Structure 1
């Protein structure tokens, strides 16, 4: 998987969030997009995921040397972020079975096996609406990390996790990074300590001269 950004920019009304961003993301590498809260990290990840349109520039995807249409990129990626909602009317097992209808799990895992890997065995028949915020975040991460996708986008991945949850995240993302393109949006070192390269979004805040 490869993503090429060429002169990419995003603005809301008259305010540029980032501009003149040229960068290449490639499979087998983990990238950290760094910046303070409100700096544009999440906006960049939503643009890369195809959930948000760029205001200028070009965004292209390719897989195995073949171009991927922008409206088909979602088939190759998994995204987790604090603003993404779970279907809270489902039990945990129902949620996993529903999700895997659209995104099969890696390594041929079953829903029950993923429950075990998330450490949520006692809650498999519990409604998601009754989960704690930490359990919901672990579920979001489990769905993203263990989906059979070549690109993994993680926005503020340890939000609402305690120390044990952070350790779980670090272990499982490290175990599932091989041959994947991973992008982490963060300003907390333990979220991106495994990343190979860093992109500071503040480097793209200045409007280029005309």
Structure 2
């Protein structure tokens, strides 16, 4: 699935966060959205996901051709997202949360629900409540639920937050293995190792003029 942006801009009150952004984001590609903290990377990701409407311009979603559009109101079925501002139901145990998630967004066809705790490297914690997890463990869960889902578009906002060096290596392998044949967009900074996963960069500062 592809996303086409035509002269897209977003502003709050009189301040433009970004504007005049025209680009086509294509399936089977991984894009890094880079910029300083507070530059508008998260806002851009929310516009891509349909959570925010652009203040100007158009965002469209389509398959292999422009003549295969996906209505905006149905695009949520095709999107998986992990972001610091999205919460999880932490009163569930890990196993309960995985099962609950599967009812709303199924996992990729090659993944069994029972395999997810092991993929997250949290097998021995599967019967513990999420609210007893460390911030790094919670981030593993959020990443896993997004990356392992059966979706055509994967949006990751600062995915390495709260992860130590070893967990970041795990994250990179997870994304690399399970993001094939998808459109993946990662919001990060200029120095993060996630950049190695990306084919192209979008510098949000280029669209603030």
Q: Deviations over 1:77-111 (max 9, x none)?
A: 10001111010111101100111111110134222
Cross-structure match for 1:88: 90
Q: Alpha-carbon deviation of 1:194?
A: 1.2
The question of 1:32 aligning with 2:32 is answered yes
CA distance in 2, matches of 1:4, 1:165: 33
The question of 1:191 aligning with 2:194 is answered yes
Aligned-residue CA RMSD (Å):
0.9
Q: Alpha-carbon deviation of 1:53?
A: 1.0
Cross-structure match for 1:58: 58
Q: Alpha-carbon deviation of 1:129?
A: 0.8
Q: Alpha-carbon deviation of 1:134?
A: 0.1
Task: Give SS of 1:174's match.
Answer: helix
Cross-structure match for 1:164: 166
Q: Deviations over 1:31-70 (max 9, x none)?
A: 0011000001000000000111110100000124310111
Q: Which runs of 4+ in 1 moved over 3 A?
A: none
Task: Give SS of 2:197's match.
Answer: coil
The question of 1:205 aligning with 2:203 is answered no
Q: Alpha-carbon deviation of 1:17?
A: 0.2
Cross-structure match for 1:149: 151
Task: Give SS of 1:17's match.
Answer: strand
Q: TM-score, normalised by structure 2?
A: 0.96
Q: Alpha-carbon deviation of 1:112?
A: 2.0
CA distance in 1, matches of 2:136, 2:41: 22
Q: What is the number of equivalent residue pairs in this alignment?
A: 206
Structure 1: which 5+ runs fail to align? none
CA distance in 2, matches of 1:102, 1:29: 26
The question of 1:135 aligning with 2:137 is answered yes
Task: Give SS of 1:7's match.
Answer: strand
Moved more, 59-68 or 166-175: 59-68
CA distance in 1, matches of 2:20, 2:2: 19
Q: TM-score, normalised by structure 1?
A: 0.96
Task: Give SS of 1:107's match.
Answer: coil
Task: Give SS of 2:77's match.
Answer: helix
Query: Contact 1:156 / 1:191 at 8 angstroms: preserved in 2?
Result: no
Task: Give SS of 2:162's match.
Answer: coil
Q: Alpha-carbon deviation of 1:191?
A: 1.9
